Amino acid sequence: MIMAAAPLDFRPRSVAPQKIKKSKGHSAIELEPTPDILHELGSRKNGKVLAGFAAETEDFATNALAKLKSKNLDLIVVNAVGGPDSGFDSDTNRASIIDAAGGVRDIPLMSKSEMADAVLDRVAALLASK
């Protein structure tokens, strides 16, 4: 299973029953964490291959490796987001694929379609080795 990055990590803790008018607006919105589907799948994968993604702005490898271990993944694709030519709001991307054995494959800047092929090639190789 290949899981995309979470669309959001937090959501508003409560929902207003009607539109909040500017004149009655709030200065802050309280947030709560969303369910961690990838963690749940990792806790009961029973030998299946599980790949995830991490969108990071700092400490890329450290944060991705921690996520890989905590979610019991076989590999993780870490995207360095925030640059002008990769991540969100761009047609290109660069990433690193980290596997559970600690192997790292850096993928240079390329189209997102080419990046998808590179990720699928790595997943196929992992499946072939099991």
Residue type, 105: R
- Give tens-digit pLDDT for 72-123: 999 999 987 877 777 777 888 889 999 999 899 999 999 989 999 999 999 9
**Which residue segment(s) compose the domain that 75 sits in?**
51-130
Establish if 28 belongs to a structural domain: no
- More confidently predicted of 76 and 5: 76
CB 13 within 8 A of CB 31: yes
User: pTM for this one?
Assistant: 0.82
Q: How many domains does the chain have?
A: 1
Establish if 63 belongs to a structural domain: yes
- Give tens-digit pLDDT for 46-72: 888 999 999 888 888 899 999 999 999
Establish if 127 belongs to a structural domain: yes
Q: Which residues pair with 70 in a beta bridge?
A: none
* 118-125 contacts at long range (C-beta below 8 A, 24 or more positions apart): 119/2, 119/51, 119/77, 122/75, 122/97, 123/2, 123/49, 123/51, 123/75
